[in-house]
Amino acid sequence: MRKIIKNNIIVLLINIIIIQIFSTTVQADNKIKNNFRVNARCAIALDRDSGQVLFEQNGYEIVPMASTTKILTAIIAIEQGKLDDKVTISKKAASIRGSKVGYKAGEEIALKELVFGLMFKSGNDAAIAIAESLGGSIEGFAEIMNHYAKGIGVLDSHFESPHGLDSNSHYSSAYDLAILTSKGMQYDLFREIVGSKQISKNKYNFTRDYNNINKILWLIPGANGVKTGYTGGAGKCLVSSINHNGKDIIIVVLNCTDRWNQTQKIYNHVLETVAFENHNVKELVYGNFK
């Protein structure tokens, strides 16, 4: 009888220890989550496979998003365009302001090459050429963009252009951009484009070589995309994808002056908190009695 009572007391004590450790773990985890902030107007981290939001800070606020718009432009071109078809660069495309590849009016560029120019160099000239080719005009392509976005559940965004230069009715959210990126990363060509640091013209018989301006590819091991952005209205923006243990973590920061370091900070936070949540308390406690 005494042995039974003794065993019951041991089991009870172990259970109390487990409960205390679990309670401490939850409290510490909540403290980490509640106190963590980054120097950005809007930010979010998303598990691409599950769609789970891992971190958010004003992640659903509607704001301008600059050239991160081009993520949607690229997806539509890859999904709906004939990538080997040649597109003639218009005067409108060649003379657009802002970041450009440098295509000349009258040049004939394959649609596939335009998508590389769009994402590697953030080419506004490439964006207009794609829009005119697939939508007949910027306005026609914008209709395609809005219809497509709504069809995949991007509901808090509105697109007026394929490039993202500031306009009153052109906006999105960090969450919507993460959803768009998750969609894009389903396509092998999209993944190749946004995840490559350079591409030789010889690989696909392009007209020129391309170097990617997205520094995140060099700064974080495992980074495999996606797109930078900047306008006066939107501030500095960055949509990133980082592959960790075979899974893509999508991170978006909008109106973020220190976008490279803040993205790294969010990534580190996600790894720490996810590891914390997955910690097996029972195994830890019983392991101490071995």
Active site residues: 67, 70, 122
235-244/247-254 β-pairing: antiparallel
Quick one: which H or E segment has residue 27?
helix 2-35
Quick one: which H or E segment has residue 22?
helix 2-35
- Using CB atoms within 10 Å of the CB of residue 39, give its burial: 0 to 12 exposed, 13 to 18 middle, 19+ buried: middle
> What's 52's DSSP letter?
-
Smallest CA-to-CA distance from 192 within 116, 81, 118 is with 116
What gap in Å lies between CA 242 and CA 254, rounded to an integer?
A: 17
Smallest CA-to-CA distance from 264 within 43, 112, 16 is with 43
* Non-local CB neighbours of 30 within 8 Å, separated by 6+ positions: none
Quick one: which H or E segment has residue 105?
none
